[in-house]
Chains A and B, each alone.
Chain A
Amino acid sequence: MFEQIYNHFNDIVAALLFVIGFSNLLFQKNLIKKIIGLNIMDVAIYLLLASQGFIRGRIAPILTDGSESAVTYINPIPSGLVLTGIVVSVSVTALMLSMTIRLYRKYRTLDLDEILMKIRQEREEED
């Protein structure tokens, strides 16, 4: 039991973080908190992905003391994928933040429900 937890510690933490981020993204009303939730969710996925390539007792795949056998090193592909993922996550976060700024300038609030209510009022006034 404890050994299982020890062996899969990264995965368990990743799952917990994912749930925290996911529920923040969906259920928070404040847009900034939503974006923080999104980032936590992404980080959880990257932790899971990075720990897939990690093998206990091995080192980063950089040739330093001349060992060319594969058993010395960890699997570098997941790390590469995490890098790609981080780039994606950064651009998505930037986009969300820019939209938040625009919404705040227009409606003077960060509460998504309030914004949607104001939009509904706008629409009713137009009709």
Chain B
Amino acid sequence: MDFIMNFPFFSIMICMLAALSSFMLGRKAAAIVAKGAIFITLVLSVVLTGWLHVRGESFVYMMGHFPAPWGNEIRAGELEGVMAIFTCIVALLSLTAGKTSIRTAVDKSKQNLFYLITCLMEASLLALIYTNDIFTGYVFIEINTIAGCGLIMIKNNGRAIASAVRYMVVSLVGSGLFLIGTTLLYSITGHLLMENINSSVAEIHASGNYSVTITIITALMTVGLSIKSGLFPFHLWIPDAYAVSIVPSSAMLSGMVSKGYIFLLIKLIYRVIGFDVFRSTGVFDLIFVAGIAAMIMGSVAAIRSGYLRRMTAYSSVSQIGYIFMGIGIANEAGAVAAIFHIITHGLTKSLLFMSAASFTGKKEDIKISDLKGLGHKHPVSAATFSAAALSIVGFPLFAGFIAKMLLANASFTEGWRMYGAICAIAVSTILNVVYFFRCIINLYAYGGFDGKEDETAVVATEEPQFAPTRYEKTIHGISVVLLALINLYIGFAPKLLTSILTKGLNVFD
């Protein structure tokens, strides 16, 4: 066995240990430990993905020394590697860009706990990505939920806690449904490892027994995971949670937390239930229709909300709809497009939240009409905000365009799904333009800012502790520009990423 095969395990454990040690450290040491741990994980994941890409196949890693049907396993392929790299990038840049927000909005004595939660969440996401055992998947879903709740309530005001309660209530229903699905799956197959479940489900399906049970299991698990990732009818907790929490929290929640569950759903389809069996249950249609509804309704809600961060949160609802629609197209190209969009949307939405932090200042949220002229005051954030907005709208040269094109391309071979997908993408794109261009136009408008300059200067001198320091400004600028450049790079050269994703999905089952 090559030493490099230990890397997935190392990445999970490094983040876990960093989380445990942050508890005992001061806030500055905790920040360094957390960023260091995530950076090491990033390096490990890059090396691992490169190695897997050259080698061209995946591997299974035994946890402990029990062989296949009994032990616990980790599996790593290119797909998992790319997802790990992506979560590390988002987590690291959220921490660096959100430094001001952490310093000003969180109690001094509790700032190390924020890093604890971040590391815990990164560890649980990595475990969700790498695990090959469905019950381990369930446990890490719950850890991820608790970490997400911590991210929301770290602000410790009434609003944040109330939205954390709503998030928990909805999420717990989701994990309950997932656990019932797991239980039933165990009772008909007798296995917990994904490969063994897959082969016994295929056998059971071929014999024609338990077809209703299999349908119920797939429906329960799919509904559970989509509740947790905030698909349309279950999206009510999203705007509160994303708009109320501090900046790095909303960047991570929108960029990574909901994406981990979607990745687990894709794993469920391809590795646990098996694509053909999943297709025969008809759950794909459900996902497809819910995805389209989310695309439209999320955008409409975003247009109706007059606040910047709340609007961005509703836009998340619509983008998650895109991802689910991609899965619901029910072919391999659709799944590749969905994973591609998971990555582009994660990068773009976290960039939007980070850039918006410059405009909101110490306030929780800002009216879109109050954005007038702020683009001249914060040129870097305004530029990156516009870049991210263009990417979400699907402007060519940005990653979002490639994602939408892949989604549309994937639907061409699928009969009635083609009409639905293409119409929905067209309508949703126009709606996206309506609400994002309103912000961009306001940002670069002349007028509002000139008159208010003296007043804002007075406010800034009154409360100097809320203004970002020069160092924080620089590091925020570097983070957002870096993220925008990654976005542009994916938009210019999508071949590498799509080829890795396609190859990764081929070795998935």
User: Is A99 within 8 A of B153, CB to CB?
Assistant: yes
Those of A48-82 within 8 Å (CB) of chain B = 48-49, 52, 77-78, 81
In this complex, the interface size class of chain A, counting residues with CB under 8 Å from chain B, is 35 or more
State the main secondary structure of chain B at its contact with A: helix
CB proximity of B95 to chain A, nearest CB, Å: 23
Is the pair A45, B173 in contact by a Cβ cutoff of 8 Å? no
Which residue of the partner chain B has the closest CB to A112?
Answer: B165
- Are B186 and A103 in contact, CB atoms less than 8 angstroms apart? no
Q: In the complex, A41 Cα to B142 Cα: how many Å?
A: 15
Given contacts A18-B180, A122-B159, contact A26 B139 (CB under 8 A): no
- Report which of A26, A45, A99 forms a contact with B180, defined as CB distance below 8 A: A45
**Within 8 Å CB of A85, what residues of B?**
179
Closest Cβ neighbor of A101 among chain B residues:
B161
Given known A-B contacts A25-B172, A42-B176, A107-B158, A49 and B183 have beta carbons under 8 A apart: yes
Count of chain B residues near A, Cβ 8 A: 26
A122 to B159, CA, bound (A): 9
Alpha-carbon separation in the docked complex, A52 to B188 (Å): 10
Whether A119 is near chain B, meaning CB under 8 Å from some CB there, is yes
- Chain A residue numbers with a CB within 8 Å of B186 are 49, 52, 77-78, 81
Query: Contact check: which of A49, A52, A95, A115 meets B162 at CB < 8 Å?
Result: A115
Q: Is the CB of B158 within 8 A of A103?
A: yes
Q: Which residues of B contact A84 (CB under 8 A)?
A: 135, 139
Q: Is B176's CB under 8 angstroms from A41's CB?
A: yes
> What would 5 A/B residue contacts be, using CB atoms closer than 8 Å?
A45-B179, A52-B186, A77-B192, A88-B142, A92-B146
Closest 7 CB pairs of A and B: A52-B187, A106-B158, A88-B142, A49-B183, A45-B179, A102-B161, A119-B159
Given contacts A77-B186, A112-B166, 20 further A-B contacts (CB under 8 A): A18-B180, A25-B169, A31-B165, A34-B169, A38-B169, A45-B179, A49-B183, A84-B139, A88-B139, A91-B142, A92-B172, A103-B161, A103-B162, A106-B161, A112-B165, A115-B158, A115-B162, A116-B162, A119-B158, A122-B159
